[in-house]
Chain A
């Protein structure tokens, strides 16, 4: 019976991989088959194929070649969107640029006291301090936002290899590294410009690498503190994994002592960091987290795609990740990676808190487990020739590479180069003390980052004095008279920027022909009006 299941697993994973290959080449529609159910069936059957003896081992040379291929491919995928474009990807680069420059202008100090409220409540200082160092070394904000970001995002492959190798072996390590470079989710994370999240994720991986060894308490504390210094939701997951790992090993006095001491020391280090922002960055978020555990869904999903979309995006390694998970249950190896996948999975599936945003972390845990699944489910599997094993592995990896290459070549920035140039021009036509209104959310981060002017944006930053209804009234008004009372809320000089992005089509342009609005400039990227009534 076992032999039948084992053979079925190999046939099915081969068929499955070919179907995914068809999907990634647009020959098949991904919703035509219940591929997510198919993935679960394969993972269950794969339990019978799991091998324990490392029968087939890769040479050091092959591991090096495969790892370097993964690293180069990861860098290539992230560079591809910039070949014919100089506009940073994603929604957030302008916000990051603004924060970086705010910190740089406060050197040789850290501007904890003079930060905008929205930075205090949503932007831990870690990344800004790191970029201060880059700045002092001679790098500009633009270089930190494009080439350095590409390198940092690609270098996540290093800690992934490290953790996977440590807990599952060298072959699993290199498989995880390759699967990371083929991950559509991680490439999307790069597009979304989740800078803090990406660095914190690497720190979390390093912390997990050291966590299970009593000799390495200090490096675990350092990486855990660094995770909290850069990104709180990632630290929340790390803290939960650390606590769970300590509890699971409660019989091992050394690990128990280390866990308690480590968590306490990390807490103290972070309390010092956040001592000036305790209310905004510790107390309020903790209240929301506890509230969300009691009443799921109250804290919000966070910006990212949902679990349903994620299932179809991660089809390449979904069965392997589940197989790795089953393998760890079978061998009762409840290591930090297992606990991470479990805890993060529960949060995402039961929609406890940041359940969409935390899919990013879940994906990394899945990639680590998929490396394990690929190694123990296929490479080390018994009664199968080496050629067939390698053939299946190559097809799986090739499928991943094709789909991610397609996504990378389709990636475009949110606004065009002309539109960004237009935003940069704002400072040439406005007074230093002027207020500039970014009229749609698509432009808000760009205007605050690239105009060097105080920015009023719908629902963002500290200077928006209007309610949602006020904004709707502003967008739909056909004459200046209708919005004059609203405009008078703000100090002057006041400017209104209308970009030539499709999102600006919600604005009724008739009102700008009124004498109250004087055209400061117009080009192919946008129009700037001075409000003077």
Chain B
């Protein structure tokens, strides 16, 4: 039973460190769901996590003397996840804004209203 719990702990921790940071970053890179398929999403989640987390751990230790322990790793992972989702929402907002007409003025809307009335004979 203890071995099973230990195994589950390792599995959950591994997913947290080696999958979730990349998963959030993959949405920052490809915000639309249909931009990439699920295989690509999984691949990027593992790949980005395994590339970024050791690099960040190394730089934080080497440049700032931050100790390598579970708390540091958890902090780096959480920061990466938030950075990914922040970038995702930023990109999504940008995409939404760029989809709107450049200037929506009252005049513009009135004009559209007139045309639609004309079409319906109103």
Contacts and interface: CB of A to CB of B under 8 A. Distances in A.
Contacts of A225: 55
A195 B120 CA distance: 71
Contact of B43 (A112, A134, A159, A272): A159
A109 B60 CA distance: 11
A60 interface: yes
Given A206-B51, A226-B55, A64 B39 contact: yes
Interface stretch (A72-80, A82-90, A215-223): A215-223
B10 A139 contact: yes
A133 B53 CA distance: 9
A251 B51 CA distance: 31
Interface in A50-93: 60, 63-64, 67
B53 to A, nearest CB: 7
B110 interface: no
A126 B39 CA distance: 26
Contact of B54 (A133, A155, A158): A133
B9 interface: yes
Contacts, number: 100
Contacts of B17: 133, 137
Interface string B34-60: 000111101110111011111101110
B58 A203 contact: no
A126 B55 CA distance: 8
A132 interface: yes
Contacts of B29: 216, 219
Contacts of A130: 50, 54
A158 B43 CA distance: 5
A110 B53 contact: no
Given A139-B10, A158-B42, A129 B51 contact: no
Interface in A170-226: 199, 202-203, 206, 216, 219, 222-223, 225-226
Query: Interface size bucket, A side?
Result: 35 or more
Nearest to A108: B67
Nearest to A136: B70
B58 A110 contact: yes
Given A133-B53, A229-B55, A60 B70 contact: no
A172 to B, nearest CB: 14
A228 to B, nearest CB: 10
A213 to B, nearest CB: 10
A239 to B, nearest CB: 16
Query: Interface size bucket, B side?
Result: 35 or more
Interface in B54-84: 54-55, 57-59, 61-63, 67-70, 72-73
Contact of A137 (B10, B37, B51, B55): B10
B9 A138 contact: yes
A162 interface: yes
Contact of A110 (B43, B44, B55, B61): B61
Contacts of A223: 47, 51
Interface in B1-42: 6, 9-10, 13-14, 17, 29, 37-40, 42
A357 interface: no
Contacts of B48: 206, 219, 222
Interface string A147-166: 00000000100110110010
B37 A60 contact: yes
Given A216-B29, A223-B47, A272-B63, A67 B39 contact: yes
A12 interface: no
Contacts of B59: 272
B54 A229 contact: yes
Interface string B79-105: 000000000000000000000000000
B14 A137 contact: yes
Contacts of A109: 61, 67-68
Nearest to B38: A64
A136 B69 contact: yes
B40 A129 contact: no
Contacts of B14: 134, 137
B58 A229 contact: yes
Given A206-B47, A223-B51, A272-B63, A125 B58 contact: yes
Which 9 residue pairs across A and B have the least CB separation, nearest first?
A158-B43, A108-B67, A226-B51, A137-B13, A129-B54, A130-B54, A206-B47, A108-B68, A138-B10
6 contacts: A67-B39, A206-B44, A222-B52, A223-B47, A226-B52, A272-B59
Given A134-B14, A158-B47, A229-B55, 13 more contacts: A110-B62, A129-B68, A133-B54, A133-B57, A136-B70, A137-B14, A137-B17, A138-B10, A138-B13, A203-B47, A206-B51, A225-B55, A273-B62
